[in-house]
Structure 1
Amino acid sequence: MATSSSSYGIEQLEKGCYYEWMSLQAKHIANLKEALVSQRSNENDHKLEELVRVIINDFQKYAEKRLKLSHRSCSSYFAPSWNSSLENSLLWMGGCRPSSFIRVIYALCGSQVETQIFQYLHKIDGNKKDDGLMSELTATQLAKINELHMKVIKKEDKISKKSANMQEDVADMPIAVTAYTKDLVEAGVVVEDALDKYEEGMAVLMAEADKLRVETLRKIVEVVTPVQAAEFILAGKRLHVSLHEWGRVREDGRFGCARAGEAAARG
């Protein structure tokens, strides 16, 4: 594990990895939008299939990079300094819950159905090519997605329980005794070894969670059509990028107000 002198450098590498991924997200969003427009004109799914495959592989590579960096220092991934407080409040094992991928599908499906009902009731001619295809999920597709949802939730619960057990162990020997017997706690060799062991365990859990995230994404794509897969991935990436931006704007507003209040008080 990282020493205090090197932890900052490792965190910077982790931060760089994250922003490299966010830059790739923006590229993926543009490519997905272009491919969907092209597909609506040409009705050719091959380009979409290839793009979806590339995006999933990029996600796999990102998970692998995180794994390598987490073995050097894992704590940063559970409360990243490069995230807003809003984003960090939504994290599960250093990322999003895999089950949330499926909730995105349900949300898209419901939204598109509502749009179609509104158009029908108000006698509006909807442009079929622009309305999205998630609302056309078949009963078989929905059954498979629901089955996957249940399995993913069970796997999430197992990982969460492992994490809870590890957190409880932190209060166990030798850390608790050291904290109790000293007014000013200085982490000695025994404590450092215990904390290193904890971080190593959390790195293993994050790797399990990342594996589940990639696995869930792949299984969803196997169930839906290429167009539906592209719509789903586009929605998920837009949500990720939007949450990052919304969190940043909210914090800028709050800290800006706080700074303005402090300046007024001093004045």
Structure 2
Amino acid sequence: MATSGSSRYETEQLQKGCYYEWMSLQSKHIADLKEALMSQRSKENDRKLGELVGKIVDDFQKYTERRSELSHRCCSSYFAPSWNSSLENGLLWMGGCRPSSFIRVIYAMCGSQTETHLSEYLLKIDENVGDANNSTDGSMSDLTATQLAKINELHIKVIQKEDKITKKAANLQEDVADMPIAVTAYATDLVEAGVAVEDALDKHEECMAVVMAEADRLRFETLRKIVEVVTPVQAAEFLLAGKRLHVSLHEWGRVREEKRLGCARTGEASAAREDAGKSNRSATC
């Protein structure tokens, strides 16, 4: 994976472009899912909803494959992306989100929707409106015992696989303190990477790219298996929630950094004014 500085920069720009193309596609997916769910609730376009869910899963697979291709040119960028906010980078696991977080989204949606439906149920009883036992529209609150058991089983397996990948990454991180990297760093005050160190770092980056690709496969397989367990309506609701979360975190992180940057600039300006005032007072004295 030995690459020049200019080549690394070009690769990072390709990675950044790939990410923003995906974010743009996320926004389109959100609009398509909202429209399809509204149609579904009016008992139309059942087949179209299933096709949309399948297309979104395929799009995610293509995105992970593209990431894998680009990571083998230069992997380091994915572990602290310049296109992410500090908030997003602090939440990364192997260059992306934890696959187990997909299932946590389902649990959160299930609990939230159940609470909403319970409130509506009690309101109908109080007002004697319609049939209080009227069935819902197949949303996450309607997950069956069989579905919940399959999702829980998947959750356990995914966490176990995450732990294995995390251990592989930990071992690779420990290898950085091995020969020849640590010895070279100790032996000279001016740390210049020789051929042996460059080869070792290239090898390390290649191995990290393999680990990240394994993590991406786990992300995709988790998504695919969730969609297989739930109904098309539930799958669409899950995908919509996950995409909104992703887009929202990106936006929240950006806004928080802009606020911090603004506060920092305000603080610097205040400090400069205070220093100027001290200088003027000193000159007067």
Map of 1:159 onto structure 2: 165
Structure 1 residue 43: deviation in Å? 4.3
Map of 1:14 onto structure 2: 15
Distance 1:187 1:118 in 2: 65
Structure 1 residue 88: deviation in Å? 0.4
Alignment of 1:240-259 (within 5 A): 240-259=246-265
Q: Which runs of 4+ in 1 moved over 3 A?
A: 120-126, 128-132
Matched-pair contact (CA < 8 Å) for 2:36–2:45: no
Structure 1 residue 204: deviation in Å? 0.3
Map of 2:175 onto structure 1: 169
Matched-pair contact (CA < 8 Å) for 2:139–2:233: yes
Matched residue of 2:42: which SS? helix
Q: TM-score, normalised by structure 2?
A: 0.90
**In structure 2, which of residues 239, 243, 260 is the aligned counterpart of residue 233 of structure 1?**
239
Structure 1 residue 132: deviation in Å? 6.7
Distance 1:165 1:154 in 2: 17
Q: TM-score, normalised by structure 1?
A: 0.96
Distance 1:201 1:253 in 2: 38
Distance 1:226 1:45 in 2: 8
Distance 1:155 1:110 in 2: 26
Which runs of no fewer than 5 residues in structure 1 stay unpaired? none
Distance 1:129 1:202 in 2: 49
Alignment of 1:94-173 (within 5 A): 94-122=95-123, 123=126, 133-173=139-179
For the pair 1:38 / 2:39, whether they are aligned, the reply is yes
Structure 1 residue 258: deviation in Å? 0.2
For the pair 1:84 / 2:85, whether they are aligned, the reply is yes
Percent of aligned pairs sharing the same letter: 77
Aligned length: 266
Map of 2:279 onto structure 1: none
Matched-pair contact (CA < 8 Å) for 1:112–1:131: no
Matched-pair contact (CA < 8 Å) for 2:136–2:142: no
1:234-266 deviation digits (Å, cap 9, x = unpaired): 000000000000000000000111011111221
Which runs of no fewer than 5 residues in structure 2 stay unpaired? 274-285
Map of 1:183 onto structure 2: 189
Matched residue of 1:80: which SS? coil
Distance 1:8 1:21 in 2: 20
Distance 1:165 1:102 in 2: 27
